[in-house]
Amino acid sequence: MNNNQPITAQSSTTHRADLLLEIEQTPEEYLPELIQIVRLFRQSITMKQTSLNHWENAINTINHSDAIRQQERKTSIKKLFESWNELDDQQEQQETLEIIESMKGISI
């Protein structure tokens, strides 16, 4: 199956059928682990989208406020990044940077 196809109602149905077939072919004793993998995957993509939405909202708020308020918020964001640099591990920092870089009109 071509993974680069756009998702349409038809291909979505095909993907669901493929997934269900894979589940049916999985031995019973491995189903708890499979369920856990699927749940973690769903939570991960949901969290990434939520994070992206929060970043977009924050940037829109910054960009649509007066100059003094913009500077205050930029200073607060800079302090936040500095605290992340001190506390987070490198993988988390990279994921955060990728989210920010994926947004249009943002530069660090």
Q: What is the pLDDT of residues 53-86, one digit of tens each?
A: 888 887 887 777 788 887 887 788 888 878 777 7
Tell me the C-alpha distance between 85 and 83, whole Å. Answer: 5
Residues 47-52: what's their mean pLDDT?
85
Closest CA relative to residue 97, chosen from 105, 82, 108: 108
pLDDT band at 51 (very low <50, low <70, confident <90, very high): confident
DSSP the chain: --TTSPP-HHHHHHHHHHHHHHHHTS-GGGHHHHHHHHHHHHHHHHHHHHHHHHHHHHHHHHHTS-HHHHHHHHHHHHHHHHHHHHHS-HHHHHHHHHHHHTSTT---
pTM for the model stands at: 0.42
> Between vectors from CA 37 to CA 93 and to CA 51, what angle results, nearest 5°?
35
Q: What is the pLDDT of residue 10?
A: 63
Q: What are the residue ranges spanned by the domains of the chain?
A: 9-101
Closest CA relative to residue 55, chosen from 84, 77, 70, 72: 77
Q: Are 27 and 21 in contact (CB under 8 A)?
A: no
